[in-house]
Amino acid sequence: MKDEGHSLVEWVAFHNHIGFDNICVYTNNCGDGTDDMLIRLQELGWCKHFRNDVPEGKKPQPNALALATQNEEVMDSEWILTMDADEFLSIKCGKGRISDLVERIPEEAQAMAITWRFFGSSGITDWNPGLVSEMYTQAAPDKFKKGWGVKTLFRPYPNVKLGIHRPHVKNAKQKPDRAKMLYDQVWVNGSGERMPDEFSLSGWRSTKPTLGYKLVELNHYAVKSYEAYLLRRVRGNVNNKPDKYNEAYFALFDRNELEVTNVHRHLRGVKKKMERILEDPIMRELQDKALEFHANRVKVLHSSGEYEKWVDELKKASEVPLDKLDEVLFIQHLPKVWQEKVKELQAQGVPDKTIAKMIAQTQTAKKGETRAALKQAAGAGEPVKEDTETAEKREAKTEKAMTLDDNPFMEGPEGAQLGVPLLKQSVARMKASAAKADQSDDSTPKDAPTPEN
């Protein structure tokens, strides 16, 4: 965590209320006193606090996870779930407690992949409208594929390595016995249904066949209100991508299509626990200082001369419907070399919508390679290979979605490293396949490949 003092007490009280009994939090470079609040909460018995001293050049979140992996106070737990401060576990079975969920996980299961549900701004402007779990009720529907990332509730095992979305096994590719142990694990989804065996090896996103929300989901309050989002934008993020929180990110994740209030069943209990925490005068003073810290930052936003423009930009971005999200150009998660190529295309006058579609079509080449390597190391046999006809059809479809001549995404050896499926050495074959496909598709001119909708 960093600078989460405005909602920290709620987050700790909520997860304590639903049954977590070993809440461990790492902090780095806090300016609002979040670290001091956690130190006091530890003294009061609500959680444990650990410093995340990040070496130069390292990223805060992976560094914290590496420290936690070596920390017996963290790892000496029956079940572990790594979470961020903007995530609240929403258990839908029984009384909504962690014990209700664990009781429904099959005894043979090692892990449960819990899918995100992204929550939007609910049209709120104020940075501090009240409790996060109470005020933000508008969320993405089940079909929001961009929100199908998972976090994993799992039983610790030998040689485990904590990850942002899922645990891994150290040196699994080099040590067949470890890969075999990983492959033999049973994983279930948020409905308690068994996942494909390969998911135990790698992967951090649900798919249509594996999506499950019946028992549990993870409320992800990724944007919150307009002002809260602008504050995050100023602060940056835990993986050192200062430009991540722009209008494109807001357009993607300010999802307000569905009303979701499952966590409201806990409001009474959470508020009582918050009152208990804040009965401590030291905690009350620390929280007041944190709120003042953020209120002052909001004042800076208001006096910037850009505030109204920024809010208007976010409101406009939030109007993008689900079926138009592939036209949103969001590049902050891409490798730097890709970002540079996007700028080149923009300089050439290529519309952002077209570039966004091109990127969407070019991020699949190396998908599954890590899983295939682990599967082979585990002795589970070679992965099933795509037959020639299927491969040609896939390549032809992708070729028609991009302009191969003078395509920046095709330049240089970095293409293979970045997972671009259309490498230069296969362009000739791809064009031949595309031409063949065009003969049976009168709707697409041979000499004018266009992005698909």
> Residue type at 342?
V
Return the bridge partners of 112, or none.
153, 188
Query: What is the sign of the dihedral through the CA atoms of 255, 257, 263 and 267?
Result: positive
Chain centre to alpha carbon of residue 376: 28
Give first-to-last CA distance, the chain, whole Å. 39
Q: Helix, strand, or coil here: 133?
A: helix
pLDDT at 153: 99
Tokens at 141, concatenated: 């529907």
pLDDT at 433: 53
| Phi, psi (deg, nearest 5) at residue 3 | 55, 55
Task: Report how far residue 372's alpha carbon sits from residue 198's, in angstroms, rounded to the nearest whole number.
Answer: 9
Tokens at 285, concatenated: 């003073």
Residue 76, burial from CB neighbour count under 10 angstroms (0-12, 13-18, 19+): exposed
pLDDT at 435: 54
Whether the pTM exceeds 0.75: the reply is yes
| Phi, psi (deg, nearest 5) at residue 229 | -65, -40
If you count DSSP H runs as helices and E runs as strands, how many of each does the chain have, helices first?
Answer: 18, 12
Q: What is the pLDDT along the chain (453 residues), one digit of tens a residue?
A: 999 999 999 999 999 999 999 999 999 999 999 999 999 999 999 999 999 999 999 999 999 999 999 999 999 999 999 999 999 999 999 999 999 999 999 999 999 999 999 999 999 999 999 999 999 999 999 999 999 999 999 999 999 999 999 999 988 888 888 888 888 999 999 999 999 988 888 889 999 999 999 999 999 999 999 999 998 866 644 444 445 678 999 999 999 999 999 999 999 999 999 999 999 999 999 999 999 999 999 999 999 999 999 999 999 999 999 999 988 988 877 778 888 888 888 898 888 888 887 777 665 444 455 556 666 666 665 544 444 444 444 434 433 333 333 344 444 433 333 334 443 444 445 445 555 545 544 444 333 333 333
